[in-house]
Amino acid sequence: MGRRAEKGAGAIYRFHRGELLRLYAGVTIPNAICFSPDGATAYFTDSRKGILHRVAVDPANAMPIGDPSTLYDHRGGAGALDGAVVDAEGLIWNARWGGSCIDVYTPEGERARTIRVPATRPSCPVFVGRNFDRLLVTTASEGMDDRAKAADPQHGMTFTLDVGAIGRPEPRVRLE
């Protein structure tokens, strides 16, 4: 994305065996990039547009197979889709920037549950712990003035939540 989130200045890339390939251009705020447990589906959003996309990918190299489709349309909803992670069952855990929560979506696009976060701008969830059974959530203060920060005293903090789910380790990036 552009340094100031300029409209359409970003893109989504695929990095595989040292090769960088632009997949989707004209993205304002690329976010929520994550993969199903079997590696056959990728998810992503442009936070500015509010649509969580899914696209079939080749599990061997993450190259898209076909065009992205809408998994969940959040346009008009409170807050914005931000960072995401997929758990061991294939549920997508998406931080809702400005919404003080993490929304959990099924692979079919239904919102399964919402978990409250004690700060207004959650930005990225990740499963942590020996058994990946806790959800770590970062939050931000980007764009907040002093008044907004005073109203949200836990802005910019990182929280560890017990959410009753099991995550999985993130795949390793291979440079070769």
Residues marked as catalytic: 82
Both structure tokens of 98: 């400005």
30: buried, middle or exposed (CB in 10 Å: 19+, 13-18, 0-12)?
middle
Helix (H) or strand (E) segment spanning residue 29:
none
Are residues 95 and 125 in contact, defined by beta-carbon separation less than 8 angstroms? yes
Helix (H) or strand (E) segment spanning residue 150:
helix 146-151
